[in-house]
């Protein structure tokens, strides 16, 4: 659940982050779209008129958000202004607004900007060039002319004018002067008496007027190119008491304190001509240009004369404008405030929306996973319930199975009890019969075999009954204190003759001569019989078995050690299990002997352990407690053991190994048999019996393990193999697989003879490619008939292969590997028919098996020798050529691999009853 929740959070944060990124990206995108850099180069920024121009610009700019504005003041220096414009160009301005200080010096830099593709708006003053994008300002010529006309029309009598001009070289100064000259032309009473330059500055104007003070009394009107210089003139006139006589006219008519309007109202100036700054218009035009909207190149601003007749009106107008301006300012500030509030609210709203989306998604995911969890829980609960019910069913089943097993075991035990009587009734009369000297050798041999096997059955039945008794606590111990050293020595001694026969060095070692131990001799002997008999059975030939006794603290230990085949770890775990039956006979523990030994030792309060390594022998250690404190009084019963008893009982445990079956061997003088068999069986008696069944009709080879069987099969290539499934080495099924997957032996039929009777086991046998599966106990006649039948079927197959038709066409009845062999074999022969040197060795080399193996294989599959086969193919081809193609007899002789035509003719006649020449004549009569 925690994991799921954290993943919800991770997904949600990723979503939130994506939303924030998207919104911030979109904001950036909008900013970029409206961002311009506008440069404004001002010739001088200190006076009121220019400050008004800048204010107007800023006010208008505030209505166009998203534009950056850089401003530079050249302070009346043309050089400085050039440098400032250059730096603006370097900063990458999108538009230049310039009021050039002087026309000529600034022309080049303005042209340069224009030629770079940067729009240029010239304001108020001009350059000498027409390379600019737009002009904003009043017409200075018209301004001068308006002044001249005004003077001529309003003043009577002769009027002498003194003209105070702006900066020499600046365009308004030049144009205003020209306008004035043209304006007064219609008025003969008006004359320009004198001109001087005030450089647009009050101080300079005053200084020049002082220089010309001698002229002043003769002057009726001073016309200054701006109100600042006009104000200076007014002050000079006042200084020389000429204010009453001489009038002053200026230009600009700025509102506010110190402005021209106020000076006209105060009668310091006679009149002033309105000269709008054009700041607002310049910015409006700039945005038209930048936004690629239509705009006017020449933006000429209107002008008018302001004197005592209209000054009040103008002031009122200006005051209204100013108050409106303030209102606008206020509203603008309010708007900005609102905008900032709006922006904040927008941000808050964005965050709320994002958070809402985030919450909705989180809730959705949480609900989804909750539902998923519930579903998973429900299915888990269902599964749990199912598992629980299955477990209960299993418990029920196992209880039932246990009961069934118990019932079966009881049944087997009871049956085993029942077996005892009939077995005894077979066993005892047999013993009597065997004493009869008149028995024939064969009958005697068979009766001995019956006797041995009845003894073995009795022994097995007794072991099973003993085991069940102990398991049901029905076996009462009858212990007495005896010398265990002597007891074990007697048991070992009873095996010495058997060990000698098996070529095993059996030793007994002890530290003490006498150790008194409480035990039941009639029970404990069975445990040691089993252990010692096993040790001998699983020892190597000429191996060693040692039984040693040593005393520990409170207990004694008896080791039974052999140097035999040993046990793998998984075998050691199961070796004492009652139902453990090893798959191969080369392992210990088949039967119930070890389980019984363990139970007997346990009854004595002891334990039994095994230590072993595969192929390195094994040691079984029996620990028995000393003293009698672990025993009940009822268990105590004086009885001593008797050595002759031990010896007779030991003989039951030596049964298997004592019998070395004598195999009936082939009589060297008898007729050689047509077919051979390989019989694989590790039980010597059964092997002898099988041998006896087949020896009269077949050549019989025998093997007692998987490995030996394989070697024999490769070497002898028999016509059939009979094998037991459980054999030492590898199983009969593995043997069948190996035989069938080897080219040398793949054709050999295999009979699996086994005690494994279940359907599954039989299917596994057939899957291992056995040809037939016969279960033990088998019927002798059935086995004989099955073997005969399999060999006969091979014979039918051979008929196909030696018939006239190519073997490849008849192959489906053959196993895959044999089919391939026959194909290859026929192909090799076919390719070499014309080669007279071609022989069996060539085929062996190509196929890669020995001469004898290929000989036997071909014989088994086709029933003829290789030489006969080749000869047959040669003659068949010759017949075909004689029949179908027009070659000479000599040519055909060589084509089918004969070196001599006479020999070819003889062989051909032997086979087909006429010579090749006669045969050809019958086919091609016209040719001869």
Site residues, ligand FRU (CB under 6 A): 44, 47, 49-50, 124-125, 166, 172, 200, 226, 228, 251-252, 275
Question: Could you tell me the CA-to-CA distances from 136 to 85, 86, 89, 538, 808 in Å, in that order?
Answer: 19, 22, 21, 125, 111
* CB burial of residue 261 (10 Å; 0-12, 13-18, 19+): buried
Query: From the CB of 43, what's the least distance to ligand FRU, in Å?
Result: 7
> Smaller CB distance to ligand FRU: residue 250 or 605?
250
Distance CA 410, CA 393 (A): 25
> Smaller CB distance to ligand FRU: residue 251 or 725?
251
Q: What does the chain come to in residues?
A: 928
> Smaller CB distance to ligand FRU: residue 44 or 558?
44
Query: From the CB of 254, what's the least distance to ligand FRU, in Å?
Result: 8
> Smaller CB distance to ligand FRU: residue 75 or 406?
75
> Smaller CB distance to ligand FRU: residue 221 or 228?
228
From the list 279, 229, 280, the residue with the least C-alpha distance to 251 is: 229
Query: From the CB of 150, what's the least distance to ligand FRU, in Å?
Result: 17
Parallel, antiparallel, or unpaired for β 67-73 and 36-42? parallel
First-to-last C-alpha distance (Å) of the chain:
104
Query: From the CB of 139, what's the least distance to ligand FRU, in Å?
Result: 13
Distance CA 151, CA 484 (A): 162
> Smaller CB distance to ligand FRU: residue 167 or 646?
167
> Smaller CB distance to ligand FRU: residue 125 or 208?
125
Alpha helices in 472-605 (DSSP H): 484-494, 496-501, 521-537, 569-574, 593-603
Torsion sign across C-alpha atoms 757, 759, 764, 767: positive
- H/E stretch holding 717: none
Query: From the CB of 66, what's the least distance to ligand FRU, in Å?
Result: 31
Query: From the CB of 255, what's the least distance to ligand FRU, in Å?
Result: 14
- In sequence order, what DSSP letters do the residues of 298-312 get, joined into one string? EEEEP--EEETTTHH
> Smaller CB distance to ligand FRU: residue 260 or 706?
260
> Smaller CB distance to ligand FRU: residue 47 or 771?
47
Centre a 10 Å sphere on the Cβ of residue 647 and count the other Cβ atoms it contains: 15
Query: From the CB of 199, what's the least distance to ligand FRU, in Å?
Result: 9
Q: What is the 3-state secondary structure (H, E, C) of 100-142?
A: CCCHHHHHHHHHHHHHCCCCEEEECCCCCCCCCCEEEEECHHH
Longest CA–CA separation in the chain, Å: 196
- In sequence order, what DSSP letters do the residues of 256-288 get, joined into one string? STTSHHHHHHTTSSSEEEE----HHHHHHHHHH
> Smaller CB distance to ligand FRU: residue 232 or 566?
232
Query: From the CB of 251, what's the least distance to ligand FRU, in Å?
Result: 5
> Smaller CB distance to ligand FRU: residue 50 or 794?
50
- H/E stretch holding 507: strand 505-510
b/e code 818-847 from CB counts within 10 Å (16+ = b)? bbebbeebbeebeebbeeeebeeeebbeeb
Bridge partners of residue 481, in order along the sequence? 518
Query: From the CB of 48, what's the least distance to ligand FRU, in Å?
Result: 8
Lookup: tokens for 834: 């014309």
Q: What is the 3-state secondary structure (H, E, C) of 594-623?
A: HHHHHHHHHHCCCEEEEEECCCCCEEEEEE
From the list 383, 622, 377, the residue with the least C-alpha distance to 523 is: 622
> Smaller CB distance to ligand FRU: residue 174 or 600?
174
Q: In sequence order, which residues have a C-beta less than 8 Å from that of residue 291 and are 6 or more positions away?
A: none
- Taking a C-beta distance cutoff of 8 angstroms, is the pair 459, 650 a contact? no
Distance CA 130, CA 126 (A): 9
Beta strands per DSSP E along 14-78: 36-42, 67-73
> Smaller CB distance to ligand FRU: residue 199 or 682?
199
> Smaller CB distance to ligand FRU: residue 75 or 577?
75
With tokens 């030793």, the residue in question is: 507
Residue nearest to ligand FRU (CB): 226
> Smaller CB distance to ligand FRU: residue 82 or 687?
82
């Amino acid at each position: 659940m925690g994991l799921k929740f954290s993943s919800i959070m991770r997904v949600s944060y990723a979503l939130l982050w994506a939303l924030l990124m998207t919104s911030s990206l979109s904001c950036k995108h909008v900013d970029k779209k409206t961002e311009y850099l506008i440069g404004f180069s001002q010739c001088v920024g200190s006076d009121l008129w220019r400050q008004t121009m800048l204010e107007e610009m800023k006010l208008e700019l505030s209505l166009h958000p998203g534009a950056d504005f850089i401003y530079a003041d050249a302070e009346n220096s043309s050089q400085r202004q050039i440098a400032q414009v250059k730096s603006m160009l370097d900063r990458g301005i999108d538009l230049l607004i310039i009021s050039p200080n002087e026309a000529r010096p600034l022309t080049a830099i303005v042209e340069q900007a224009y030629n770079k593709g940067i729009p240029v708006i010239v304001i108020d003053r001009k350059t000498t060039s027409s390379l600019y994008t737009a002009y904003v300002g009043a017409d200075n010529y018209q301004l001068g002319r308006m002044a001249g006309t005004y003077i001529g029309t309003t003043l009577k009598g002769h009027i002498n004018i003194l003209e105070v001009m702006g900066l020499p070289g600046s365009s308004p100064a030049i144009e205003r002067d020209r306008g004035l000259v043209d304006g007064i032309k219609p008025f003969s009473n008006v004359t320009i008496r004198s001109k001087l330059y005030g450089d647009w500055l009050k101080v300079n104007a005053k200084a020049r007027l002082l220089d010309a003070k001698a002229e002043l009394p003769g002057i009726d009107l001073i016309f200054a190119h701006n109100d600042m210089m006009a104000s200076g003139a007014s002050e000079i006139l006042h200084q020389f008491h000429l204010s009453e006589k001489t009038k002053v006219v200026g230009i600009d008519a700025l509102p506010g304190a110190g402005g021209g309007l106020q000076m006209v109202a105060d009668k310091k100036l006679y009149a002033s001509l309105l000269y709008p700054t054009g700041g607002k218009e310049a910015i409006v035009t700039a945005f038209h240009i930048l936004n690629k909207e239509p705009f006017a190149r020449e933006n000429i601003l209107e002008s008018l004369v302001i004197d005592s007749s209209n000054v009040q009106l103008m002031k009122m107008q200006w005051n209204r404008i100013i108050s409106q301006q303030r209102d606008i300012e206020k509203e603008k500030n309010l708007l900005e405030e609102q905008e900032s509030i709006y922006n904040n609210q927008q941000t808050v709203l964005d965050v709320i929306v994002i958070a809402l989306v985030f919450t909705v998604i989180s809730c959705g995911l949480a609900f989804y996973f909750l539902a998923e969890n519930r579903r998973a829980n429900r299915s888990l609960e269902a599964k749990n319930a199912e598992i629980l019910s299955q477990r209960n069913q299993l418990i029920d089943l196992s209880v039932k199975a246990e009961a069934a097993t118990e019932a079966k075991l009881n049944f087997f035990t009871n049956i085993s009890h029942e077996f005892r009587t009939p077995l005894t009734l077979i066993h005892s009369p047999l013993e009597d019969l065997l004493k009869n000297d008149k028995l024939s050798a064969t009958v005697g041999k068979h009766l001995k075999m019956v006797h041995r096997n009845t003894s073995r059955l009795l022994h097995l039945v007794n072991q099973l009954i003993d085991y069940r008794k102990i398991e049901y606590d029905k076996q009462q111990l009858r212990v007495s204190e005896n010398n265990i050293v002597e007891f074990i020595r007697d048991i070992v001694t009873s095996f010495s003759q058997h060990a000698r026969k098996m070529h095993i060095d059996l030793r007994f070692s002890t530290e003490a001569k006498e150790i008194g131990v409480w035990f039941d001799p009639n029970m404990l002997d069975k445990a040691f019989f089993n252990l010692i008999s096993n040790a001998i059975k699983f020892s190597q030939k000429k191996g060693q078995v040692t039984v040693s006794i040593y005393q520990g603290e409170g207990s004694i230990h008896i080791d039974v050690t052999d140097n035999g085949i040993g046990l793998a770890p998984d075998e050691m775990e199961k070796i004492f299990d009652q139902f453990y039956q090893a798959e191969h006979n080369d392992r210990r523990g088949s039967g119930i002997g070890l389980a019984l030994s363990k139970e007997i030792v346990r009854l004595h309060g002891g334990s039994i352990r095994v230590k072993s390594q595969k192929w390195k022998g094994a040691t079984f250690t029996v620990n028995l407690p000393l003293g009698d404190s672990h025993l009940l009084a009822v268990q105590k019963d004086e009885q001593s053991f008797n050595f002759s008893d031990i010896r007779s009982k030991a003989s039951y445990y030596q049964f298997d190994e004592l019998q070395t079956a004598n195999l009936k061997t082939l009589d060297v003088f008898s007729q050689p048999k047509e077919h051979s068999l390989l019989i694989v069986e590790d039980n010597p008696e059964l092997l002898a019996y099988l041998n006896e069944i087949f020896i009269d009709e077949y050549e019989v080879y025998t093997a007692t393990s998987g490995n030996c069987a394989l070697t024999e099969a490769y070497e002898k290539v028999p016509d059939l193999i009979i094998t037991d499934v459980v054999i030492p080495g590898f199983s009969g099924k593995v043997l069948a697989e190996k035989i069938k997957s080897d080219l040398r032996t793949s054709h050999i039929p295999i009979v699996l003879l086994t005690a494994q009777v279940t359907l599954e086991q039989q299917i596994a046998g057939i899957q291992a490619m056995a040809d037939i599966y016969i279960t033990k106990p088998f019927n002798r006649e059935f086995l004989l008939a099955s073997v005969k039948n399999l060999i006969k079927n091979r014979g039918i197959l051979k008929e196909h292969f030696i018939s006239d038709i190519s073997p490849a066409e008849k192959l489906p009845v053959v196993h895959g590997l044999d089919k391939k062999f026959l194909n290859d074999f026929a192909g090799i022969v076919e390719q070499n028919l014309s080669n007279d040197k071609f022989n069996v060795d060539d085929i062996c080399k190509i196929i890669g098996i020995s001469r004898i193996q290929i000989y036997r294989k071909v014989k088994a599959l086709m029933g003829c020798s290789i030489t006969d086969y080749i000869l047959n193919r040669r003659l068949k081809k010759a017949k075909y050529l004689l029949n179908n193609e027009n070659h000479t007899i000599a040519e055909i002789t060589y084509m089918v691999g004969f070196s001599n035509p006479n020999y070819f003719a003889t062989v051909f006649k032997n086979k087909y009853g006429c010579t090749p020449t006669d045969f050809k004549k019958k086919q091609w009569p016209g040719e001869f």
